Structure formats: C-alpha cells, structure tokens
Chains A and B, each alone.
Chain A
Amino acid sequence: MSTTSTSSRALLCPSARCKPRSLLLGVIGPDGRVQFAHDRLVVDDAFVEVARLGRRPEARFRFASPCVDACANWEGRCRVADGLAFEVPETELPACSIRGTCRWHAQRGDDVCLRCAYVVTDVETHDESKDNNGNQV
C-alpha cells in the first residue's frame, strides 16, 4: 500500500459531483457496481442538465474532478480513500480512465482500485425528501 501524502494538486478526486468539465468515470450498474468507461468522457452543460432531470446524478454515475485541499476529507491524505478497507472478491483491476492521475490510487495503490467499483458519491441519494439540489420538497 502506498503512503503518499503529497499535495492534492494535479490529482483527480474519483468521487466528485456532477458538474460541467467533470469526467464521467462510469455508470452504476444494476448490480450496484460501477461500470467504468475506458475513455475519458468529459461532462458538458447538456449532460448535467439532462442528468439532473432524474435521480441524483451522483447516485447513478461516478465523476472525477480535481482534488482540492479545501475538501473536508483532506488532511494531508484523503480520508475517504483510507476508509475503503472492506473485503471484495475482485482480483483484477477495473479499466479506469484516470488511474494514473487518481488521488485514491496515488494514496493507496492498486488495493483501492479493487474497491472503487463499490463506491457511490452522494450521501444524500437515498433521501427522497430532497430534490436534485439538496432542497427539501
């Protein structure tokens, strides 16, 4: 396991919000695991607009955007990445378009990639009382 604790600059967070210029990492499949896109797919305004018509985009897709020092999860390391320690049956790394620039991979190496497909970003996804902007309905 890598113990990298360098600045977050230049690395991508693989658990980002749906917003223009984010990268679409993959789609959450029927089995609840992420189906990773092999190519870098850049999200544009139209994608965001369409995606927000349904359930929260972060509950249906995974996005990446630059890792930022201001993130509440950043303490010299990403605390979310460190928390991904559960057992998984996978032994082969998923095809991922950002591995070489991924914060989680830089911090923990291939070990975290095996668990990445089980992660969904938005903690408020299951809250049916809120709309796509997090407002009460």
Chain B
Amino acid sequence: MATKSEDSTFLVVLNGLKISTAMKADIEKKIRAVVMQEIATIDHGDGITIQPLKSLPQSRSIEDPVGDLIRRGGTAGLVITKKVL
C-alpha cells in the first residue's frame, strides 16, 4: 500500500489484492470518517476575538433581535476579527 499527500489531496493506492466493491466502499467510508474526525480537532482560535454584530454601526438594526436571541440561548451571527496586540 502506498500513500501520497499533496496540499489537501490524499491518495491511497493498494494494488494486487482482490477487494470487492462492497469492501472498497466500506474502506472509503472509514477513511472519510477518520478524515472528518481529524478535522474536528482543528482550532485556530489563538489571537482571534469575537465581535458581536451589534457593535458594528452598519449592523445595529439587528441589535435588538440578536439580543433577544441571546436571551433565548439561540444561534446568532457574529463577526470575528484577529486580535490586535
């Protein structure tokens, strides 16, 4: 088995073995699951601050709706910016 990676493209080459279509599909499914689990660990959070949308003058029209949403524990859009040291 040979593996190769370039940018975000990963190749797995396995020659010689007679792998059924079902097994190949199962392997692909498991590879995808592993890749997704690795992606799930990504955190580029250092140095990033979160700025509420309502702090932007152009976006104050939604200040009250968003505030109401926060009180309900719902989902709101926010803008994030990199922290200026």
Contact = CB atoms under 8 A, between A and B. Distances in A.
Interface of A: 15-17, 24, 27-32, 41, 43-44, 46-48, 50-51, 53-55, 57-61, 71-73, 79-87, 118-126, 134
Nearest to A104: B77
A121 B80 CA distance: 10
Chain A to chain B: the 3 pairs with minimum beta-carbon distance, closest first: A83-B62, A50-B40, A80-B77
Contacts of A118: 79-81
Contacts of A124: 70
Given A47-B37, A123-B52, A15 B80 contact: no
Nearest to B79: A118
A121 B40 contact: no
Contact of B79 (A46, A86, A122, A126): A86
B82 interface: yes
Contact of B40 (A51, A87, A134): A51
A48 B40 CA distance: 8
Nearest to B81: A32
B65 A72 contact: yes
A28 B44 contact: yes
Residue from B48, B73, B75 with most neighbouring chain A CB atoms (10 Å): B75
B54 to A, nearest CB: 8
Contacts of B33: 44, 46
Given A55-B43, A123-B70, 11 more contacts: A30-B48, A31-B82, A60-B42, A60-B43, A80-B53, A82-B61, A83-B59, A83-B77, A121-B77, A123-B66, A126-B50
